[in-house]
Copies of this chain bind each other. A is one copy, B any other.
Amino acid sequence: MTGLRYTEQMIIASQEGTVPQEGTVLQAGTGPEGICEVNCVHPEAVAEARAALPDGRDVETASAFLKLVADPTRLRLLSALNTRELCVCDLAAVVGLSESAVSHQLRLLRAGRVVAFRKAGRVAYYRLLDHHVTMLIDSALEHARE
């Protein structure tokens, strides 16, 4: 346990009924997965939180999804689509943006499976893909109004 200096955290850990175990201590160094600089850590707490930590891919997926909704322009677009189906031109008019900009955003939203669209001739009508999105938008906006 070179480089480890336990002072206070051992006391706290033992107060919590758990003695720090060497096996659970994360190693300092350059490991690609278990990297961690060790000094003041509560090993028991870290181990518990680590165990409950969601899969890396899921975090990335959830993050990507939330990022799509988090942008103010896209949130406005989605709010508009929350009321009814709309074409690109309408969306541009509603949010006061160029049609090109709207199209770019819709492309992202489509790739992220947030919106769906149907084509009637030259006109593309967009709508929210499922009501998960609707719920998220509503709850986020409600949270904002508090």
Give chain A's interface residues, CB within 8 Å of chain B. 8-9, 26, 34-42, 45-46, 48-50, 52-54, 58-63, 65-67, 69-72, 75-76, 79-84, 86-87, 89-90, 92-96, 98-99, 121, 123, 132, 136, 139-141, 143-145
Contact of A62 among B26, B81, B83, B143 (CB under 8 A): B143
Contact of A37 among B81, B83, B98 (CB under 8 A): B98
Is A92's CB under 8 angstroms from B62's CB?
no
Is B89's CB under 8 angstroms from A39's CB?
yes
Is A58's CB under 8 angstroms from B90's CB?
no
**Which residues of B have CB within 8 Å of A90?**
41-42, 45-46, 49
Is A143's CB under 8 angstroms from B65's CB?
yes
Given contacts A40-B87, A59-B75, A60-B72, contact A50 B141 (CB under 8 A): no
**Which residues of B have CB within 8 Å of A53?**
76, 79-80, 94-95
Most B CB contacts (10 A, CB to CB) among A34, A53, A99 go to A53
**Which residues of B have CB within 8 Å of A62?**
75, 140-141, 143-144
Please name the residue on chain B nearest to A132 by beta carbon.
Answer: B143
Beyond A46-B90, A136-B140, list 8 extra A-B contacts (CB 8 Å): A45-B86, A49-B84, A62-B75, A62-B140, A66-B66, A66-B140, A67-B71, A136-B139
Is B79's CB under 8 angstroms from A54's CB?
yes
